[in-house]
Amino acid sequence: MAASYGHVEIVKLMLAYPNVNVNTRNQRRMTPLLLAAFKGLEPVVRVLLQDPRIDANARDASGATALIGSAHRDRVDVVRLLLSMDRLDVNAQDGRGWTALGRAASRSHVEVVRVLLADGRVDVN
């Protein structure tokens, strides 16, 4: 809940506990990272990604990752931050076969498309 409301300090406190499940899911299979990324809460995403326990490639019920969801919603700052992660699957596909690049392009999110294309890992085909 703290992640979805942008409560950075609460997120930090929670992450300090080693037994906290940082990849816990709600009814829609959304993790704290997915919730924060989809909402464009870049400060929360930044804090979450600093924790090695975070699954940067977690998927929601539709198969979308944090990168796919943030690209689809034109969250360019979050997209940039996610792309800084080596462990990120930048070419992941959601349940309908869409990648982050495909979702951003389909919504005419020009800056997100630019950022994705600038990342050498993104497959343009």
- List the domain boundaries for the chain: 8-118
pLDDT greater than 80 at residue 1: no
CB 14, CB 46: distance < 8 Å: no
> Mean pLDDT for the chain?
95
Under the banding of pLDDT at 50, 70 and 90, the label for residue 100 is: very high
Residue type, 64: A
Tokens of 92: 């992941």
Residue given tokens 């498309």 in the structure block: 113
In the chain, pLDDT over 70 holds for what percent of residues?
100
Tokens of 97: 């076969």
8-118 folds as: 1.25.40
pLDDT greater than 90 at residue 27: no
- H runs (alpha helix) in 16-99: 32-39, 42-49, 66-72, 76-83
Q: What is the pLDDT of residue 111?
A: 99
pLDDT in tens, 51-82: 999 999 999 999 999 999 999 999 999 999 99
CB 103, CB 71: distance < 8 Å: yes
